[in-house]
Amino acid sequence: MNKKLMSCVIENEQRNILLLHRNPDRRFFPDYWNFVSGHIELGESAKECLVRELNEELGVTDFEILIEAEPFMDDLSSDDEVYEMYVFKCRLNQAFVVSRDEHDDFLWIDPSELFDYKILKGLVLDLKVLGYEL
Protein backbone atom coordinates (compact mmCIF):
# COMPACT_ATOMS: atom_id res chain seq x y z
CA MET A 1 0.00 0.00 0.00
CA ASN A 2 1.30 3.44 -0.92
CA LYS A 3 1.86 6.00 1.79
CA LYS A 4 0.05 9.24 1.08
CA LEU A 5 1.53 12.64 1.88
CA MET A 6 0.17 16.16 1.57
CA SER A 7 2.31 19.24 0.96
CA CYS A 8 1.09 22.83 0.91
CA VAL A 9 2.93 25.73 -0.69
CA ILE A 10 1.67 28.91 0.92
CA GLU A 11 2.05 32.00 -1.23
CA ASN A 12 1.47 35.57 -0.07
CA GLU A 13 0.31 38.55 -2.14
CA GLN A 14 3.94 39.39 -3.05
CA ARG A 15 4.27 35.85 -4.52
CA ASN A 16 6.73 34.84 -1.79
CA ILE A 17 6.43 31.35 -0.35
CA LEU A 18 6.48 30.25 3.28
CA LEU A 19 9.26 27.99 4.51
CA LEU A 20 9.13 26.37 7.95
CA HIS A 21 12.29 25.24 9.74
CA ARG A 22 12.00 21.80 11.35
CA ASN A 23 13.19 21.69 14.97
CA PRO A 24 16.70 20.24 15.42
CA ASP A 25 15.31 17.56 17.75
CA ARG A 26 12.79 16.21 15.19
CA ARG A 27 13.13 12.49 14.53
CA PHE A 28 12.87 12.89 10.76
CA PHE A 29 14.70 15.59 8.79
CA PRO A 30 15.86 17.79 11.68
CA ASP A 31 17.17 21.24 10.68
CA TYR A 32 15.58 21.14 7.23
CA TRP A 33 13.30 23.77 5.75
CA ASN A 34 9.94 22.48 4.57
CA PHE A 35 6.41 23.45 3.56
CA VAL A 36 3.34 22.67 5.66
CA SER A 37 3.01 18.93 5.16
CA GLY A 38 1.91 15.68 6.70
CA HIS A 39 0.80 12.10 6.30
CA ILE A 40 -2.74 11.56 5.08
CA GLU A 41 -4.39 9.37 7.70
CA LEU A 42 -6.46 6.30 6.90
CA GLY A 43 -9.92 7.39 5.78
CA GLU A 44 -8.83 11.03 5.42
CA SER A 45 -8.94 12.90 2.11
CA ALA A 46 -6.08 15.08 0.95
CA LYS A 47 -8.19 18.21 1.58
CA GLU A 48 -9.04 17.03 5.09
CA CYS A 49 -5.33 16.52 5.72
CA LEU A 50 -4.63 20.02 4.39
CA VAL A 51 -7.17 21.52 6.81
CA ARG A 52 -5.76 19.51 9.74
CA GLU A 53 -2.11 20.31 9.02
CA LEU A 54 -2.69 24.04 8.47
CA ASN A 55 -4.45 24.13 11.83
CA GLU A 56 -1.83 21.99 13.63
CA GLU A 57 1.26 23.69 12.19
CA LEU A 58 0.05 27.31 11.86
CA GLY A 59 -3.22 27.60 13.77
CA VAL A 60 -4.94 28.57 10.50
CA THR A 61 -8.54 27.80 9.60
CA ASP A 62 -9.22 30.60 7.08
CA PHE A 63 -7.44 30.02 3.77
CA GLU A 64 -8.13 29.58 0.09
CA ILE A 65 -6.88 26.85 -2.21
CA LEU A 66 -5.37 28.45 -5.32
CA ILE A 67 -4.23 25.21 -7.00
CA GLU A 68 -4.76 21.54 -6.27
CA ALA A 69 -2.24 19.53 -8.31
CA GLU A 70 -2.94 16.08 -9.68
CA PRO A 71 -1.55 13.38 -7.33
CA PHE A 72 1.86 12.03 -8.32
CA MET A 73 4.51 9.65 -7.07
CA ASP A 74 7.14 11.39 -4.95
CA ASP A 75 10.59 11.75 -6.53
CA LEU A 76 12.17 10.46 -3.30
CA SER A 77 10.35 7.15 -3.72
CA SER A 78 12.44 4.01 -3.60
CA ASP A 79 11.79 0.32 -4.18
CA ASP A 80 10.98 -0.02 -0.48
CA GLU A 81 8.60 2.91 0.03
CA VAL A 82 6.43 4.68 -2.49
CA TYR A 83 4.82 7.99 -1.60
CA GLU A 84 1.72 9.30 -3.33
CA MET A 85 1.88 13.09 -3.14
CA TYR A 86 -1.01 15.54 -2.97
CA VAL A 87 0.20 19.13 -3.39
CA PHE A 88 -1.73 22.35 -2.86
CA LYS A 89 -0.97 26.02 -3.34
CA CYS A 90 -2.83 28.16 -0.81
CA ARG A 91 -3.15 31.72 0.41
CA LEU A 92 -3.85 32.45 4.06
CA ASN A 93 -6.68 34.80 5.01
CA GLN A 94 -5.54 35.24 8.60
CA ALA A 95 -2.40 35.65 10.69
CA PHE A 96 -0.59 32.49 11.73
CA VAL A 97 1.45 31.22 14.67
CA VAL A 98 4.08 28.58 13.97
CA SER A 99 3.71 25.45 16.10
CA ARG A 100 6.87 25.20 18.21
CA ASP A 101 6.33 21.44 18.54
CA GLU A 102 7.40 20.95 14.94
CA HIS A 103 9.16 24.14 13.82
CA ASP A 104 11.41 26.76 15.35
CA ASP A 105 11.44 29.41 12.61
CA PHE A 106 9.80 30.54 9.39
CA LEU A 107 10.71 32.66 6.37
CA TRP A 108 8.93 34.22 3.42
CA ILE A 109 11.20 33.81 0.39
CA ASP A 110 11.13 34.36 -3.33
CA PRO A 111 10.88 30.90 -4.93
CA SER A 112 14.19 31.57 -6.73
CA GLU A 113 15.92 31.61 -3.32
CA LEU A 114 14.84 28.07 -2.43
CA PHE A 115 18.26 26.54 -3.13
CA ASP A 116 19.88 28.90 -0.59
CA TYR A 117 18.39 26.76 2.18
CA LYS A 118 18.76 23.19 3.40
CA ILE A 119 15.55 21.79 1.96
CA LEU A 120 13.95 18.42 1.46
CA LYS A 121 14.46 17.25 -2.13
CA GLY A 122 10.73 16.90 -2.72
CA LEU A 123 10.09 20.64 -2.33
CA VAL A 124 11.49 21.30 -5.80
CA LEU A 125 9.07 18.85 -7.39
CA ASP A 126 6.18 20.27 -5.34
CA LEU A 127 6.87 23.72 -6.78
CA LYS A 128 7.30 22.42 -10.33
CA VAL A 129 3.93 20.61 -10.35
CA LEU A 130 2.34 23.89 -9.22
CA GLY A 131 3.86 25.74 -12.20
CA TYR A 132 6.78 27.50 -10.55
CA GLU A 133 9.91 27.89 -12.66
CA LEU A 134 13.09 27.38 -10.66
SS (H, E, C) 24-48: CCCCCCCCCEECEEEECCCCCCHHH
The domain ranges of the chain are 3-129
Q: What pLDDT sits at residue 75?
A: 58
Q: What pLDDT sits at residue 29?
A: 87
Give the mean pLDDT of the chain. 92
Q: What pLDDT sits at residue 121?
A: 83
Average pLDDT over residues 34-63: 97
Q: What topology does CATH give the domain 3-129?
A: Nucleoside Triphosphate Pyrophosphohydrolase (3.90.79)
Average pLDDT over residues 70-86: 78
pLDDT band at 99 (very low <50, low <70, confident <90, very high): confident
Average pLDDT over residues 1-14: 92
